[in-house]
């Protein structure tokens, strides 16, 4: 039996692919946002710190630090510290924050699976002047903050405070995730129907209701009224698509 593909069938396929891509886009957002809510979910961030701090000997030490951290990964190889001090000593003083210092930090947090698709940025400055308390200011960009009480979840937000849902799109990962989810959703949504229509076509049945069209020359299924596309007079194979 010859298969006839009409413009209507091609348009149907375009609509199906478009809907799969739309659902893939929605799935990309949902997965990335869920990763920001679950505390045990590992995420990825890029960290840059620039400034100075006072060492135990009272000398001022300049700092420039770049690091990348993710699931099972930590790369802090890109840093420079003045006065020949060690990285471990800088981290100890940096954590204690007991001596005068002024450090500017910038984080770029990324979320998504299997690739990083969404993210948000944060900029923080923590400083301590001689004889004064520690001051820390932080600003966030490209996110939506929601209080844990509004969501009613039984656990605290990662890092405390509000849940932060990223809105900045990381295009390479976003497009890759969309295609991955679309490729998974397409056969789930349309696979059974495509297989059923293909079987009916091979058996000479109506694609809509499954009625046997053997010997039919009217061009219309007598059971449901579905039109049967014709290639030539007297030859009326069913449409696929």
Residue 170 clears pLDDT 90, i.e. is over it: yes
Q: Give whole-number Cα distances, 3 to 77, 122, 236, in Å.
A: 62, 58, 9
| Percent of all residues in the chain with a pLDDT value above 70, rounded to a whole number | 72
Note the pLDDT tens digit of each residue in 208-221.
888 888 878 777 88
Q: Is residue 7 part of a domain?
A: no
Which of residues 64 and 144 earns the better pLDDT score?
144
Q: Is residue 56 part of a domain?
A: yes
Residue 1 clears pLDDT 60, i.e. is over it: no
Please check whether residue 210 is in contact with residue 200, taking contact to mean a CB–CB distance below 8 angstroms: yes
Q: Is residue 104 part of a domain?
A: yes
Name the domain count of the chain.
2
Q: In the predicted model, what is the mean pLDDT of residues 163-175?
A: 93
Which of residues 174, 196, 231 is at a domain's end? Answer: 174
Q: Is residue 17 part of a domain?
A: no
Do 133 and 42 belong to one domain? yes
What's the whole-number average pLDDT of the chain? 77
Do 120 and 233 belong to one domain? no
Please state which of the ranges 98-107, 161-170, 204-213, 224-233 shows the lowest mean pLDDT: 224-233
Q: Is residue 19 part of a domain?
A: no
Q: In the predicted model, what is the mean pLDDT of residues 134-138?
A: 81
Do 153 and 52 belong to one domain? yes
Do 127 and 64 belong to one domain? yes
Do 115 and 232 belong to one domain? no
Q: In the predicted model, what is the mean pLDDT of residues 151-159?
A: 67
Do 50 and 166 belong to one domain? yes
Q: Is residue 89 part of a domain?
A: yes
Do 39 and 144 belong to one domain? yes
Do 132 and 82 belong to one domain? yes
Give the pLDDT confidence score for residue 2 in this predicted structure. 43
Q: Is residue 199 part of a domain?
A: no
Which of residues 17 and 239 earns the better pLDDT score?
17
Which of residues 153, 174, 195 is at a domain's end? Answer: 174
In angstroms, rounded to a whole number, what is the distance separating the alpha carbons of residues 140 and 143? 7
In angstroms, rounded to a whole number, what is the distance separating the alpha carbons of residues 105 and 2? 67
Residue 18 clears pLDDT 90, i.e. is over it: yes
Which of residues 121 and 50 earns the better pLDDT score?
121
Q: In the predicted model, what is the mean pLDDT of residues 116-126?
A: 91
Do 100 and 153 belong to one domain? yes
| Percent of all residues in the chain with a pLDDT value above 90, rounded to a whole number | 22
Give the pLDDT confidence score for residue 12 in this predicted structure. 82
Residue 120 clears pLDDT 60, i.e. is over it: yes
Do 169 and 211 belong to one domain? no
Note the pLDDT tens digit of each residue in 75-109.
444 445 554 455 565 566 555 556 677 888 888 98
In angstroms, rounded to a whole number, what is the distance separating the alpha carbons of residues 164 and 115? 19
Do 169 and 209 belong to one domain? no
Residue 3: pLDDT band (50, 70, 90) is very low
Do 45 and 102 belong to one domain? yes
Ranked by mean pLDDT, the top range of 63-77, 109-123, 149-163, 174-188 is 174-188
Q: Is residue 184 part of a domain?
A: no
**Sequence-distant (≥ 6) Cβ neighbours of residue 67 within 8 angstroms:** 46, 47, 74, 75, 76, 78, 79
Q: Which domain holds residue 210?
A: 204-241
């Amino acid at each position: 039996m010859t298969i006839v593909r009409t413009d209507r069938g091609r348009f149907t396929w375009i609509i199906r692919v478009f809907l799969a891509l739309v659902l893939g886009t929605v799935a990309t957002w949902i997965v990335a946002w869920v990763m920001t809510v679950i505390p045990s979910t590992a995420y990825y961030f890029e960290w840059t710190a620039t400034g100075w701090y006072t060492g135990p000997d009272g000398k001022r030490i300049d700092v420039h630090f770049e690091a990348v951290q993710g699931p099972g990964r930590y790369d802090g190889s890109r840093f420079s510290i003045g006065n020949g001090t060690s990285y471990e000593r800088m981290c100890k003083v940096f954590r204690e924050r007991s001596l005068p210092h002024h450090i500017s930090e910038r984080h770029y947090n990324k979320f998504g699976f299997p690739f990083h698709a969404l993210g948000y940025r944060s900029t923080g400055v923590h400083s301590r002047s001689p004889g004064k308390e520690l001051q820390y200011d932080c600003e966030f960009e490209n996110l939506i903050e929601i209080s844990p009480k509004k969501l009613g979840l039984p656990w605290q937000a990662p890092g405390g405070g509000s849940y932060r849902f990223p809105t900045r799109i990381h295009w390479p990962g976003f497009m890759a995730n969309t295609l991955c989810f679309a490729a998974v959703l397409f056969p789930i949504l349309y696979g059974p129907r495509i297989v059923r229509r293909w079987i009916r076509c091979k058996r000479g049945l109506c694609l809509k209701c499954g009625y046997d069209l053997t010997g039919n020359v009217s061009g219309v299924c007598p059971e449901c009224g579905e039109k049967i596309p014709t290639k030539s007079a007297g030859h009326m194979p069913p449409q696929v698509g």
